[in-house]
Every structure is written in structure tokens, then in C-alpha cells.
Amino acid sequence: MKVGSLFSGIGGLDLGLERAGHTVVWQSEIDPFCCKVLAKHWPGIPNHGDITAIDWGTVEPVDVLCGGFPCQDISLAGTGQGLKGARSGLWFEFARAISILRPRYVLIENVPGLFIRGFYRVLLNLAAIGYDAEWQCLQAAYFGAIHRRRRVFILAYPHNNGTPPTAHRGCFGTRTPPGEHGTTQEIYHYSGGRGTWQAKPGMDRVGNGVPDWVDRLGSLGNAVVPQVAEYIGKQIPLTFPSG
């Protein structure tokens, strides 16, 4: 399926969905360092830049629209403004894109703080657009990482003929995430490695002299773990949505 990527960052969602067999056809990102990373790994793929300035009527339609909108105002360590904040409030631009592009699937990512700082509003916006939604909180540790990294993933799709849904299902997919109820061996098998991931070489002062080290750390901290996105991507298309 064709994928459009919003708030692309360094392409964690994009990479995971491509590993699942989908194809990214355009992206939207403004951070200079992240844009360099995207240009290197997705050469020739258009980057539409600032989401607030995009004319969606001129953008190529996609089957899957994905993105992790900014979490700074939602995170429990953040400002607490929720969707009223200038950064997390960019969700409403995400919703605008959905309403115009009308993709078959929408994949939304954010921190668990969304559950108490805007989750209901996100569901209401999706319902008003005519999309049903399912969600699941997944940890990178389920996929072999050495840290938890809990994130909320919402998968939405048109409800029946596009009329507002009356209810939302609670959890997408039928497969148990690897490691949630499985053995450590099963986690490693899924992630294609042996043992947990190695975050970086076990050398003292390894970061000394590495170009753009601060930008690298910041972009990694904001990125979606590709293995998690791949797991979700392998469940698209779902078997039951109508539209």
C-alpha cells in the first residue's frame, strides 16, 4: 500500500512500514537534521515540509497516512497543555489532512500521556471525519529492546459509508505482540537478532567527536522504533474494516 508520512522525523514509522511491505511515496518534516536523514535514505521521495502550509488538494493520495504528532505538550514531563499547546496542537493539522485525503488507514503514534491529555478529543475528531479507531499501547521491549519505551498506536479507518461511528473498538489486530506473553527467545526470534539490541558499542567516550551527536540523540529520542511499526504494518490491511 502507498504510505504518506507526517511528522516523519528520521523515518522510524516509514522504515517499519516498508519492512512490512508498504511503500512510502511522500513525507513531511521540517527539522533540518531529520530532513538530511530522510533525503539520504529516501532519495527522490518528496518532502512536503511544514504541515501547516501543505495544500492537500495537490498531494498524491495514499492508502495509509501515518505520523506521530509532537508530544511535548502531552508528555507527563511536558507542559501539560495537551492539544491546546502549540506543538501537540498540530494534531488538528493531522486531522485536516485525514479529512481531505481520506486514506484507507490512518496510523497515529504518541506517548501514553495522550490517554489523559487529549485522547478523547482525538477520537472525537476521527469520529467527526467518519473514521472508526482502535488502539494499543506497545513497548519496544516486546521486540527485543533493552528499554520499555511505551507508545500508544491508534489505527483508524472509514466507518461503513463514512458516517460517524457510534463506538470504538479497543485493540487492533489479533496477534499478541512478541514478548507480551511470550518468552525471551520468542522476542529475539521476532526481532531477527540474538539477545537484546546493542544501543551503541561498549566503549567509553564513544560519543566524543561524533558529528551532530546532539541532533542524533534528539532525533532518536523522538523516533518510532521500526520493529514496532513493522509489526503493525503487517496487520494492514485488517480483515474487518468496511468503507
User: Which residues are within 8 A (CB) of 113 and not within 5 positions of it... i.e. 6 or more apart?
Assistant: 71, 74, 75, 76, 78
Give yes or no: 71 in active site: yes
* Alpha carbon distance 6, 34 (integer Å): 13
* Alpha carbon distance 235, 238 (integer Å): 6
Ramachandran area for residue 44 (φ above 0: left; ψ -120 to 50: alpha; else beta): left
Candidate list 34, 35, 66, 71, residue with the active-site label: 71
3-state secondary structure of 168: coil
3-state secondary structure of 34: helix
* Alpha carbon distance 16, 3 (integer Å): 11
Give the residue numbers marked as catalytic. Answer: 71
